[in-house]
Amino acid sequence: MNDTSTTQQSSETIGLRMTRQLPAAPEEVFDAYTDAEKQKIWFSILDEEPGVVEIDVDLRVGGKQHAVWGPNRATLFREEQTFLEIDRPHRLVTESTGSDPSGQSMTTHVVVTFEPDGDGTLVTVEQTGFPTPEIRDFFQTEVWVGAFDRIEAFLVRE
Among 54, 63, 56, which Cα is nearest to 92's? 63
What pTM value is reported for the model?
Answer: 0.90
At 158 the pLDDT is: 62
Backbone φ and ψ of 136, nearest 5°: -55, -45
Concatenating the DSSP letter of every residue in 55-113 gives EEE--STT-EEEEEEEEETTEEEEEEEEEEEEETTTEEEEEEEEE-TT--EEEEEEEEE
pLDDT digits (tens, 9 = 90+) for 37-78: 999 999 988 888 889 999 999 999 999 999 999 999 999 999
Side chain identity at residue 99, one-letter code? S
Cβ count within 10 A of residue 135: 15
**pLDDT-based confidence at 11, cuts 50/70/90?**
very low
pLDDT at 22 over 80: yes
**pLDDT-based confidence at 12, cuts 50/70/90?**
low
- 3-state DSSP percent of the chain in helix, strand and coil, to 5: 25, 45, 25
Among 3, 2, 61, which Cα is nearest to 34's? 61
pLDDT at 146 over 50: yes
| CA-based torsion, 133, 135, 138, 140: positive or negative | negative
pLDDT at 144 over 70: yes
Asked whether the beta carbons of 125 and 5 are under 8 A apart, the reply is: no
| CA–CA gap between residue 106 and residue 46 (Å, rounded) | 26
